[in-house]
Amino acid sequence: MLFLDRNDFVSQYEYRQKLSQIRKDQDYYKEEIIKVKKDVKELSTDPAQLEKFAREKYLMKRDGEDIFIIVPEDEEKKDK
């Protein structure tokens, strides 16, 4: 029963490790949900924040504006 059963010590240890990792993931995702809800609230209530978000994330621009994207050399080398 110690080594031949499906509930042996090795399996129990692996299950506990897996459970521990799942709990860590759960905490991480709970924190991320809180951050996203805060961002959604800010974006839905503040037009200036919405414009800032659109400009930064989606590179949107106003009429007559030009956007220049500066990429550091380190990132260029990683892409190639």
Single-letter code of the amino acid located at 28:
Y
pLDDT, tens only, 13-41: 999 999 999 999 999 999 999 999 998 99
What value does the mean pLDDT take over residues 44-61?
A: 84
Q: In a 10 Å sphere around its CB, with 0-12 CB exposed, 13-18 middle and 19+ buried, how is residue 26 labelled?
A: exposed
- Residue 52 pLDDT > 80: yes
Span 52-70, average pLDDT: 80
- Reported as a pLDDT band with limits 50, 70 and 90, residue 76 is low
Whether 4 maps to a domain, the answer reads no
* Residue range of the domain that includes 39: 9-79
Tally of domains within the chain: 1
Quick check: is 35 in a domain? yes
Task: Supply the DSSP symbol for 5.
Answer: S
Q: Does residue 32 fall inside a structural domain?
A: yes
In a domain, 59, yes or no: yes
